[in-house]
Amino acid sequence: YNFAQATYDLDMPNPVAYLSRVKAWYKEERKRSYVKPHELKSWWDAVQALENDTYRDFLLFLLFTGLRRGEAQKLRWADIDFKDRSFTVPDTKNGDPLTLPLGDFLHGMFEERRKRYGNYEFAFPGPGAHGYLAEPKKGVAKVAKASGVNFTCHDLRRTYITIAESLEISAFSLKRLLNHRVSDITESYIITDAERLRGPVRKIEQFILEKVDGEENKQHINSAT
């Protein structure tokens, strides 16, 4: 418009400015897709059937933690404290390091992974210059095809949030689990360590395992206890 106005001496209002003023721009709807509770069993079975155990365990890690894909991919063995049953994500979207408790299932899963991949730097190693699993889309596609559940990695974060809200986990605890910065002045004075989040993490884990109800889940938990 600015070019045309200068070139042709247009005497008319800027249509773009008008659209902005009246808020008439098309708004792209925010995605709300997630794996629904009745779909979890089919999704889980398809994940467990993956031949590539790094795809498998990476997707399970996303489901049980609600982490963003980019945060989960770079998890190093040095970031996991097996004795304390916790892990730390040093490089997060908002810049604040995040330490969370490991539930029994994930603790057992990482114990098994450490036996096979403990000599790698990353918990989810992959080919390429970075050394970690850079692109899980092949695993996602296989699971979607086998289960009939179309999903993205970020849908697993929304699934985690939906489960947490259904369990009436407090808004403050959920913010901490998701590493959202608190806006309330009172909340900002509350110091929350990983141990205080262990209860909510356990509730979410139990909900998922009850929905999928598999023997392999008990094996993971037994190996962790």
- Least confident among 25-34, 60-69, 82-91, 133-142: 25-34
Residue 22 lies in a domain: no
Residue 120: CATH number of its domain: 1.10.443.10
pLDDT digit string, tens, across residues 26-76:
454 456 799 999 999 999 999 999 999 999 999 999 999 999 999 999 999
Cα–Cα distance measured from residue 165 to residue 106, given in angstroms and rounded to the nearest whole number? 21
Compute the distance between CA of residue 74 and CA of residue 200 in angstroms, rounded to an integer.
24
* pLDDT, tens only, 93-109: 777 789 999 999 999 99
Is the CB of residue 127 less than 8 Å from the CB of residue 138? no
Per-residue pLDDT at 172? 86
Per-residue pLDDT, 20: 56
Quick one: which of 67, 35, 32 has its CA closest to 143?
35
Answer yes or no: is 19 within a domain: no
pLDDT band at 91 (very low <50, low <70, confident <90, very high): confident
Residues of the chain above pLDDT 70, percent: 75
Min mean pLDDT across 126-135, 140-149, 182-191 is at 182-191
CB-based contacts of 19, cutoff 8 Å, min separation 6: 25
Q: Is residue 114 part of a domain?
A: yes
What 3-state class would DSSP assign to 192? coil
Residue 3 domain-assigned (yes or no)? no
Beta strands, E only, the chain: 80-81, 86-89, 98-101
Q: In this predicted structure, what is the pLDDT of residue 23?
A: 53
| 119, part of any domain | yes
Predicted pLDDT of residue 28: 46
Yes or no: say if 144 and 150 are a contact pair by the CB < 8 Å rule: yes
Residue 171 inside a domain? The answer is yes
Domains contained in the chain, number: 1
Domain of 199 in residue numbering reads as 31-224
11 within a domain of the structure (yes/no): no
Q: In the chain, pLDDT over 90 holds for what percent of residues?
A: 64
For residues 115-136, average pLDDT = 95
pTM of the model: 0.80
**Helices (runs of H) and strands (runs of E) counted in the chain:** 12, 3
Residue 10 within any structural domain of the chain: no
What does DSSP say about strands 86-89 and 80-81: parallel, antiparallel, or unpaired? antiparallel
Q: For residue 146, is pLDDT > 70?
A: yes
